[in-house]
Amino acid sequence: MAEVNKGLKSLVGHKMTKKFKFLDTEIMIHKLSVSQVLAIQATAKEASDKENEGLELVRKVIVAGVEGAEDLSEEDFMDFPLDELTKLSNEIMRFSGVIPEDPKAK
């Protein structure tokens, strides 16, 4: 028997996920919550004066949006190709509704 929807409150903390190909391997990404998006935006605002600001933002998005990424160290991130990290970060942001979908991708 199907579970009855108990209202919006019952969905707090629910994560929507999808598969994404990263370095020729499928990984699971999930949509960012409003609080995660706001934290990333705050970091972007603070980082505007710092060196390597873009990489720190990419790292924050990936840690928030990829299953198992919270265990990666800063050194681990430095061993990935930058363009692949950027693609992954952009996909998480698109999936979360922060940046618009690419109409050419459909």
Q: Are 66 and 29 in contact (CB under 8 A)?
A: yes
**Which pLDDT score, from 0 to 100, does residue 32 have?**
95
Q: Could you give the 3-state DSSP secondary structure of residue 11? A: helix
**Which pLDDT score, from 0 to 100, does residue 84 have?**
96
Residuewise pLDDT in 10s, the chain (106 residues): 456 667 887 777 778 899 999 999 999 999 999 999 999 888 888 766 566 677 888 999 999 999 999 999 989 999 999 999 999 999 999 999 988 876 665 5
**Which pLDDT score, from 0 to 100, does residue 5 have?**
66
**Which pLDDT score, from 0 to 100, does residue 2 have?**
55
Strands (E), 23-99: 25-30
Burial code (b: 16+ CB inside 10 Å, e: under 16) for 10-31 equals eeeeeeeeeebebeeeeeebbb
Q: How far apart are CA 67 and CA 31, in angstroms?
A: 11
Q: How far apart are CA 86 and CA 44, in angstroms?
A: 15
Q: How far apart are CA 93 and CA 52, in angstroms?
A: 19
